[in-house]
Structure 1
């Protein structure tokens, strides 16, 4: 089975998280107020987003505002059924963490959090084409990350279109013309 870039980056980020010492990361207090999520769901989302898109030489999910974007999307963009589906997935993640490790997801070590997310990602992949809460959440986080200013301009190569207008440029400087 071929792996796409997003799956490869997700696996790499979880590997980095799992190898980061095995200690629960100190979770910063949320710097925002959730509108669609409970405070507990928002904290779980904050941790999950940073594990999926960690800060490296590029901004992480927190820095890009991904948790806030997901919260806003759940309130104003997703239909109530889809929003409830994703919120129930966050609740299930916490419930599963308590059942398996005796502590909520946010309190687990990075290795435990990473292992749970890998399992959820495998479940989401196996469930295709049926929806899975983690798959839906990953889709929203991916949209949030790569459409944020840091995601679009620092992580991705940014080429502003249409760009500068330069009239009457000799063709030998341009090469072949662009189709799009």
Structure 2
């Protein structure tokens, strides 16, 4: 299994923890990158990706996201897989994060402390949750208004047979949600994430579909 297949497998395993935008990307397949995508991020923004990921998954008893090379992974997947509208939202999110760091701490995002990055991203996370909730309520009202018309036309979800279909819609992309999604995917498909954050058995024996974990035991890595 190559890295791309591993990412897709973990995306499906994490299904409920990922945003609709990211699930849609891996259900539909990666888009062909445009020439403009090669210069999607500035040098400082590339560095910001590594620090954002490391703030989301910091080093504890195991190495963090930065050590696992998640920053370059986020950059690659954003350029190669996400559609243009999501790319624009993500770049705008990085620009806003930089502006807020300068406003709140009088320093660039790369210059503020780890604690300040955590505080700042915590605010962005809460704002994202609130925005997603508001958008969901708005979409639900619009869906209710169209329900009779849709039923008359006999329209159905194209992915009705897919177990993740109910989670996929045309919801708008959110910067923090994508950053979180790709941090999780990048970390748990990396060598560090699979062998140190998870319990990894290099040469497995028989397959056990359901194994009880002891308190504090790491989850088994999937092959």
With normalisation by structure 1, the TM-score equals 0.66
How many residue pairs are counted as aligned between the two chains? 137
1:110 matched to 2:114? The reply is yes
Once the two structures are superposed, residues 16-62 of structure 1 have per-residue CA deviations (whole angstroms, 9 ceiling, x without a partner) of xxxxxxxxxxxxxxxxxx86421111121111111111122212112
User: Segments of 4+ in structure 1 off by > 6 A?
Assistant: none
Structure 2: any 5+ residue segments left out of the alignment?
1-16, 18-37, 137-171, 211-223
Q: For residue 168 of structure 1, what is the aligned residue in structure 2?
A: none
Q: How far 1:72 sits from its partner (Å)?
A: 0.5
With normalisation by structure 2, the TM-score equals 0.55
Once the two structures are superposed, residues 72-130 of structure 1 have per-residue CA deviations (whole angstroms, 9 ceiling, x without a partner) of 00111111221221121111100111122221111112222221011011112222245
Structure 1 residues 95 and 80: alpha-carbon distance in aligned structure 2, compared to 1, 3 A threshold: same
Structure 1 residues 95 and 155: alpha-carbon distance in aligned structure 2, compared to 1, 3 A threshold: same
Q: For residue 58 of structure 2, what is the aligned residue in structure 1?
A: 54
Structure 1: any 5+ residue segments left out of the alignment?
1-5, 7-33, 166-173
Q: CA RMSD in A?
A: 2.7
Give the one of 194, 199, 204 matched to 1:152.
Answer: 194
Within-5 A mapping of 1:84-103:
84-103=88-107
Distance 2:209 2:75 in 1: 39
Within-5 A mapping of 1:1-180:
36-128=40-132, 129=136, 131-159=173-201, 163-164=204-205, 178=209
